[in-house]
Chain A
């Protein structure tokens, strides 16, 4: 077992892959378009309100509207033909005192929903990467 050769091979693989990481299919299609995103968010919202770590944040929430806003937002982010009509992330989360752990619990709820929806790991990662920049707009507001 020659680990030096393995290192060289891995470096080449790493460099090459940076130039070849553009996706052939749009994320919107990978998420199952509007119908798939709608189903995903139904599961997502159910997971959120059933998660004892964060369900208290949703006691006063209009869940049907949350579902609708998430679907518009994910659809637009994924490159679909939607326009998000809700409040910006800072406005909609100010005063909720969402902690880093709460945010992580939300990520886990979304991951479970994506697993249940049969979304491939690559598409899951691309959606999460689009949502990650909202962390600082949501946490500790």
Chain B
């Protein structure tokens, strides 16, 4: 399957759908669908949350299209993603990542197909927090370099469970959000450097977390943390951290910016920079 074209086709179809309707289709509250992660699932920027993309409540459907870019000292990551969600229960996503090795030269890329299922609870109203189970299937399309540095396979599955909760009037009478995610993965740098390695080729559980506060209904700031495996002996892999600000001027559009600290990547140390993401949602 050629995912680049299917992603573009879905994105175009959704854009067309968005432009022909004046109002958001789904009945969810502002920002409750989160934004689009670099892997296409709804969440923050680097951590998938339990939220469903877009604004689909029971019996409704929704979705998103997004363009994102992270630029750190020696690398640039571009992501095109689209998602579809239904019944406040299911989410399906596709993402195309291009990782530009500006210093080393060349480009890595991979496709990610994601599915998420809300098991129980609600972000705001239920007694239980929102709990979702997700999978991501990743296909690395430039496996030459990853294989040369010890990666064991060019495609693999990640699975995760995420718990998200918002408090309408938390500290300082502001609305707060917290998310915790546990992921089973063998991915090196999310899969851009393949899966498994010469040091370890078994699944590892990693922890990911996010906390944010809404300064106003349409403006949130927060932090994310993503633990990562370290499977390849040629270079140490670090955890990722971001400090983000997300603005939801309407339900249809959101803009996310972040400072990102991706640590050491492929032997190049202390990769820091910015992240910018635009999302259209309905």
Please give the residue numbers on chain A whose beta carbons come within 8 Å of chain B beta carbons, in ascending order: 1, 3-4, 6-7, 10, 14, 17-18, 20-21, 23, 53, 99-102, 104-105, 107-108, 111, 121-123, 125-126, 128-129, 132, 135-136
A126 touching B173 by the CB < 8 A rule?
A: yes
A111 surroundings in chain B (CB, below 8 A): 217
**B residues within 8 A CB of A4?**
241, 261
A141 to B163, CA, bound (A): 27
Q: Which residues of A contact B259 (CB under 8 A)?
A: 1, 3
Q: Is A108 in contact with B171, judged by CB distance below 8 angstroms? A: no
- The answer to whether B169 and A129 have CB atoms under 8 Å apart is yes
Point out the residues of chain A lying under 8 angstroms from B225, CB to CB.
7
Chain B residues with CB under 8 Å of A6's CB are: 223, 243
Instruction: Judge if B110 is at the interface, Cβ distance under 8 Å.
Output: no
Residue of chain B at shortest CB distance from A105: B27
Query: B174: which A residues are within 8 A, CB to CB?
Result: 121-122, 125
Q: Is the CB of A128 within 8 A of B57?
A: no
A38 to B169, CA, bound (A): 23
Q: Check if B29 is an interface residue, CB within 8 A of chain A.
A: yes
A102 pairs with B27, CB closer than 8 A: yes
Interface residue SS majority, chain A: helix
Q: Is the CB of B169 within 8 A of A3?
A: no
Find chain B residues with CB under 8 A from A17 CB: 171-172
- Contact status A20-B171, CB under 8 Å: yes
Chain B's closest residue to A30 (CB) is B173
Which residue from A7, A14, A23, A104 sits with its C-beta under 8 Å from B57? A104
Interface residues in B203-218 by Cβ distance below 8 A to A read 211, 216-217
Q: Decide if B60 is an interface residue (CB 8 Å cutoff).
A: yes
When chains A and B are docked, how far (Å) is the Cα of A52 from the Cα of B170? 32
Give the distance in Å from the alpha carbon of A4 to the alpha carbon of B167 in the complex.
25
Task: Determine the distance from Cα of A136 to Cα of B124 in the docked complex, in whole angstroms.
Answer: 11
A sample of 28 cross-chain residue pairs with beta-carbon separation below 8 angstroms, ordered by A number, consists of A1-B259, A1-B261, A3-B241, A3-B242, A4-B261, A6-B243, A14-B171, A17-B171, A20-B171, A23-B173, A100-B27, A100-B57, A100-B58, A100-B88, A102-B27, A104-B28, A105-B27, A107-B29, A122-B172, A122-B173, A126-B169, A129-B167, A132-B124, A132-B168, A135-B124, A135-B126, A136-B125, A136-B126
- The verdict on B175 contacting chain A, using a C-beta distance below 8 Å, is yes
> Complex: how many Å from CA A94 to CA B28?
22
Contact B172–A129 (Cβ < 8 Å):
no
Q: Decide if B197 is an interface residue (CB 8 Å cutoff).
A: no
Q: A7-B241, A18-B171, A135-B125 are in contact. Are A1 and B272 (CB under 8 A)?
A: yes
Contact assessment for A14 and B27 in the assembled complex, using a CB-CB cutoff below 8 Å: no
Cα–Cα, bound, A108→B27 (Å): 10
Give 5 closest A-B pairs by Cβ, nearest first: A101-B27, A122-B173, A17-B171, A129-B169, A135-B125
User: What is the distance, in angstroms, from B124's C-beta to the closest C-beta of chain A?
Assistant: 6
Residues of chain B with a CB closer than 8 A to A105's CB: 27
A99 in contact with B27 given A14-B171, A122-B173 (CB within 8 Å): yes
Bound complex: CA A64 to CA B140 (Å): 63
The complex places the Cα of A45 from the Cα of B225 at a distance, in Å, of 43
B241 and A125 form a contact (CB under 8 A): no
Closest Cβ–Cβ distance, residue B248 to chain A (whole Å): 13
Query: How many angstroms between the C-alpha atoms of A18 and B173 in the bound complex?
Result: 10
List 9 extra interface pairs beyond A7-B223, A18-B171, A21-B173, CB under 8 A. A1-B259, A1-B261, A3-B259, A3-B272, A6-B243, A21-B171, A100-B27, A105-B27, A111-B217
- A10:B171 contact, CB within 8 angstroms: no
Nearest-CB residue, chain B, relative to A108: B29
Q: Chain B residues near A125: list those with CB within 8 A.
A: 168-169, 173-175
A132-B26 contact in complex given A6-B223, A6-B243, C-beta closer than 8 Å: no
The CA of A107 and the CA of B166, in the complex, are separated in Å by 15
